[in-house]
Every structure is written in C-alpha cells, then in structure tokens.
Structure 1
C-alpha cells in the first residue's frame, strides 16, 4: 500500500508538471505569435537597395516602385476632373484660407483646407498630412486652423495642436511664410468618418472589409495622398516643380511614402515616424496591437522591403527625418538602423547633402524648434 501511495503521489506530481508545461505551449503572447522572432528572421527584403546593389540605381528605383504599387492591390481610380469648388473663405495675415471641395478620386469627393499666400505669381506648395493619434473627430483641422465650424471642432483642434504641435497650426505657419498649403482628411478622420460616429475598434472592421474586397485601407490613404499632390500641381498659382509634403506621426509615414510614390513631390519631411520591423514587431511595442497599424499597412510589402527601404525609393530627393530620443513608439535602435540604411543609399547616389536625419531630445512631439528647422529645409530646396 505504501508503494502504491508513493506511486500515486509521483504520478500526480508528474501530471502537474505536464499541466504546467501545457500552459507554456499556448501560441499567443501579448497579441504576438510566440515564434515571432523566427518569422522576422525569414524577412530578407530581396528588393531593398542593399540586396540589389549590382543593379543600376534608376532601374532598382523603377522596379522597387512597381512592387510598391503592386502591393497596394486594388486601389481607387484617378478622377476624370477635380471640379474644385470654394465653399467658404477667410482672409488671414498674409494669406487666404479657403474651404474647398474637389474630386480626390473617381469614387470620392472630399472637403479640404487650401491656404493661398497673398500676391501674384506662383508659389511653392506643401501637402500637409495629419497624424493618427487615435483621435478621429478632426483630421485636416490638426494642420490648419479651422473657421466657421462648431465650437466643439474649434476647441478640439486647439487642444490637439497644443498637445502635439507645440500650439502651432503648422499649415498656417507655412502659409504665413509663402507656401500654398493643402490639407485633406484621410479616410476615417473628420468629415470622412461616418454619421454614426467611430471609435478605435472600428479601424479593424474597416481594414478587414478592405482586405476582403482585394484592397487595403492603408493603400487607399496613400493613393488619396498622391491624388492630392496631382490636384495641387494643377492649380495655376502653384509652382508644380516646387511641391513638397510634410507630416508628423502617421503623417510622417504618409510623407515619406508619398515621396517614394510620385516624382511630383520634390522634397519631403517626416517627423516621428521611421523604424524597422525588427524593432517595431516586439512584445511591448504599440505596433503589435492592431487597430492603428492598419492605416499604415500594405499587407504584402514586407516580403520585399522594410520601411526604410521603401523610403529610399525617394532618393536622391531632399528628404528630412526627425525622431524623438524619448519616443516610446519608435525605439532608438530601430531609428538608428533606419538612418544608417538610408544614409548608405543617399551617399551612394552622391546626394549626401539632401538627406537630413536628426534625433531630438523629445518624446512623440512636433516642437516649434523642429518646425523652424523643417521650414528652413523647405526654404532651401523649394
């Protein structure tokens, strides 16, 4: 009997250990597959410039851009005409603020803010690309001070600009300094949301629906940005050889993507959005939560290129990248690796002076000091 009891105790202990081991066999940890490191190790980025150094640079750029567009899958068609209408206007110090509507694609007509400096002739122009911020009530109003809107929108815009842009409407800042400025809501923000209202979780439903119809929400946003540049270049008071783009956070991602997509953009500035998949796809990074990531996601592109590789398609254009040393969303090591990859490409193209990379002692924030240096950058190149 004593031996039988000892056997049962040993068997129970063995089963307990086995049960504990089985818990460890769950395959998801903090939204990530437990073998995510193995998955990342399979990413060799065969279309990066570093993998194709044997090719003529211009041929690599063409092929890389072709793959970028191919990974966007089904996208909206260009409009047959823009049919711009001025809805409202307000004279400001040195420029006029216009509320307009135009056809951004063959499927959608959108409201926008257009700022035009006083005077005759043509002006350099900037497409202002707003951030994400998990804040959807406003979009274009994050970049341009709204007028003749509800008290809720006006107050929300002021609060957001104070929180993220050091109290400065960056679009107005550039218009005061002689730039035409265009700011449009990305799909899901501001006037391009839905009547019932939207919240954070709605993003995944929208993204899923795009995927099920052969497209992606992220690609749709990128294509709208490119059509915005096309529209801007059609305006008689815009110097179409001096168009740039600027954005912070998600807007920063949109900015370097846009510069890589179209040669109509002559210079770009991207604030607080550059990193590598190696450092973004971890257990503790915000990128692994889904939701917001869908708005900046092309499902197939990682088979070919990582984020900085795509940004290099814009080389040798003047391109500025600022990041914050204390920005928890973008690990410093990933920023440094990205900057090194891009620096190698611009150096190879004998365009070292056209790439600006800088780490600021900031969190996720677009400070006045940053804005002043970005303006100086565009003044130099546009």
Structure 2
C-alpha cells in the first residue's frame, strides 16, 4: 500500500513539474516583440530626431554647442562615483622589457574603489606622450587590461588566456607593448566587471545585465561608470611626472573603441583618439533588417541619451581633435551602411569647422579585429599628432 502511495505521489510531482515549468519557446497567438525588438521599432526610430545634434539644434556657435551637448551627455550618465581624495599609488610588481619598464600598480580610481592597472614606461628621459589603452568586451570578462598589455606576475591561467585572446583578435601582438616600444607611456586598467573588477563568484556573462539593473536601483549607470572611470584614469595619467599632459591619446578596439571616442568627446585632456571597429548609427543598429541588435549587455546603454544625440553626434563633440576610425567591411557587428552613415555625419561636423583633415575614417577588408596592420596605422596616426 505504501509503495502504491509513493508511486502516485511521485507521478503527481512529475506532472506538476512539467505543468509549471517555464518552457523556452512557448508562444501565444498575440505578441509584441519579434527577434528581440518591439514590433513598433520603426516608429520608435522615426521618433528619434536628435534635437541636440550639431546642425539640428538652433545653436550656431560651435563652442557653445559642444558645452551644451557635453552637459546633456553627462546628465544622462547620471550620478558619477565620488572622486578619489588621493591616488595612494602602490607599485605591486615590475618587469624590465625591451626598451621599457612594465609595472603593475594599484591606486584609488574613485572614493569607492581601488583598481589595479598596468603602466608601461619607455626607457630614457621623459616626459613622454601617453596612451590610455581601453580594452574590448568580447563577451569575455575573465581578463580586461591583460587583453591589451602582456601580463606578468599573474596566475598561469590569466597569462594563457591573455595570450590566446591576443592571438585571436590582435594578430598575436599585445597592442600596449607595441606602443611602449615606440616611445609611449601606456596605461590600461579593467572596466567594471572585467578582470580584477569582476564577481567574487566568478565570471557569469548572464549576471552582467542583472548587475547593471541593480546599479540603476542605486540611481547609477554601470555603463556610465565605465566612462567616468576612463575620464578619471586619464586624469590620473596626466598627473604622472613621466607623462606630457599635453600629449595624451586614447585608443581602443570594439567596446574599447566606443570607450575611446566617448572619452575623447568628454575629456579635454585627450589630444587624439583612435577607434577600431565601433561606430554605427542607431537606425541601422537597432533594426531586424540587418539581423543585428545591441549585444553589449549595458556596456553602452545610457538612459534617454538617444532622445538627444546618436553615436556619431556624441563623437563629434571631440571636434576638432584628431580622430581616426577604422571599421571592417566584413565586421558582422557593425553593418556597413550604418558605418558609412555615421562617418558622413562626423565628416560634416569636422568640415564645418575647417578641420576635415583631422578626421580620418576607413573601411577595411577585415572582420571584427585589430590586427598588426591596424595597430601600425594607429601608431602612425598617433605619431603624427602626439610626436
């Protein structure tokens, strides 16, 4: 009798489990979202008029427009982290390399957190031109700064992972080390949730969006914190006696490229910028026509900003600074029509300020990558304007 009751109970539990499970793929006849977009996406895009873009607003003084546009970007970025009272720099380790010294340091990036970073200093007498080198996303959060600068004094898993990532996307050459060999002080640190700023429980890409949502509940924006940190780290770089504070550039690939042109637009300490494989217009990015969408996981999602400015409009706040953009003809993340449209918008702005020769935009026969040739082109560009 007990055996019969047990079997019936077990059967009932299994039936209930099947009945209440949230099965992926369950469909209703009526729906409002298709391929991760609202079905009214075209109407939303039609409503984006970008009233603060240069040429769209009533302001005809370019300097005043820049101030207004920049203030709006900061307003949409919400409250920043409180500034550090002092950097309190500590050198954790040091390694002599071919023509430069590599240091791993730790310092206060804000009043909330200390971060670790790599700092490469060329041999010889400074001060030197410097680069804030901004790492990519890649849906790979285990390493950050180690994607850009060859790590040392690290766990073997970190070193092996960095080497593999470098081979995959950077042609086997650590971009930061390449720049240091050519006479630049190079700085790179982790963005929030990457590398040594990750989760205690370990990497879980699915937690990124949850954490970004939790940050919003504090009235803060995780993506904006990344940009605020990039501005603060540039301030830190400018404070070093080995750095010529009038010759600081920023460089990035993929998410790092987004970070680079954002930083150039928002920090007066940046004198030149190079951005590899991150530029597009929202009307091309956010439609199912091209089979793409925003996959950054809140890496570049700033509340309400798109009501005022599109990506190339924000980058144009950097005008007339020297800016270099490379995108790939075979880059599936950024459809070529959107790239061309963004380039045209920026060229109109630089041309309007008689600075057209200081904006270089290229579409190359590459995938989403930053190989040896791209790194050389970026170095040549930086040498032209920072040396």
Q: Name the TM-score, length of structure 1 as normaliser.
A: 0.92
Residue in structure 1 matched with residue 341 of structure 2 by the alignment: 337
Where do residues 230-309 of structure 1 align in structure 2 (5 Å cutoff)? Answer: 230-283=235-288, 285-289=291-295, 292-309=296-313
Residue in structure 1 matched with residue 196 of structure 2 by the alignment: 191
Point out where structure 1 has 5 or more consecutive residues left out of the alignment. 1-21
User: What's the C-alpha RMSD, in Å, of the aligned pairs?
Assistant: 1.2
Query: Could you give the per-residue CA deviations for residues 108-146 of structure 1, whole angstroms, max 9, x where no partner exists?
Result: 100000000011120000000000000011000000000
Query: Could you give the per-residue CA deviations for residues 184-241 of structure 1, whole angstroms, max 9, x where no partner exists?
Result: 0001000000221121111110110111111111000000000000000000010000
> After alignment, is 51-60 or 367-376 more displaced?
51-60
Shift of 1:287: 2.9
- Aligned equivalents of 2:318, 2:264: Cα separation in 1: 6
Shift of 1:54: 4.6
Shift of 1:53: 6.1
Residue in structure 2 matched with residue 120 of structure 1 by the alignment: 125
- Aligned equivalents of 1:156, 1:361: Cα separation in 2: 27
Shift of 1:288: 4.0
Shift of 1:280: 0.7
- 8 Å contact from structure 1 (residues 123, 179) kept in 2: yes
Shift of 1:50: 2.2
- Aligned equivalents of 1:138, 1:206: Cα separation in 2: 18
Q: Name the TM-score, length of structure 2 as normaliser.
A: 0.91
Shift of 1:160: 0.2
Aligned match of 1:359 in 342, 346, 363?
363
- 8 Å contact from structure 2 (residues 208, 297) kept in 1: no
Point out where structure 2 has 5 or more consecutive residues left out of the alignment. 1-26
- Aligned equivalents of 1:293, 1:50: Cα separation in 2: 31
Q: Secondary structure at the match of 1:293?
A: coil
Larger helix fraction of residues: 1
CA pair 231-288 structure 1, distance change in 2 beyond 3 A: closer
Moved over 4 A (4+): none
- Aligned equivalents of 1:232, 1:323: Cα separation in 2: 28
- Aligned equivalents of 1:366, 1:328: Cα separation in 2: 14
Q: Secondary structure at the match of 1:110?
A: strand
Query: Could you give the per-residue CA deviations for residues 7-55 of structure 1, whole angstroms, max 9, x where no partner exists?
Result: xxxxxxxxxxxxxxx9664111111110011011000000000203652
- Aligned equivalents of 1:81, 1:56: Cα separation in 2: 38
- Aligned equivalents of 2:235, 2:353: Cα separation in 1: 27
Shift of 1:148: 1.4
Q: Secondary structure at the match of 1:91?
A: strand
Residue in structure 1 matched with residue 11 of structure 2 by the alignment: none
- Aligned equivalents of 1:210, 1:295: Cα separation in 2: 13
- Aligned equivalents of 1:82, 1:98: Cα separation in 2: 16
- 8 Å contact from structure 1 (residues 287, 293) kept in 2: no
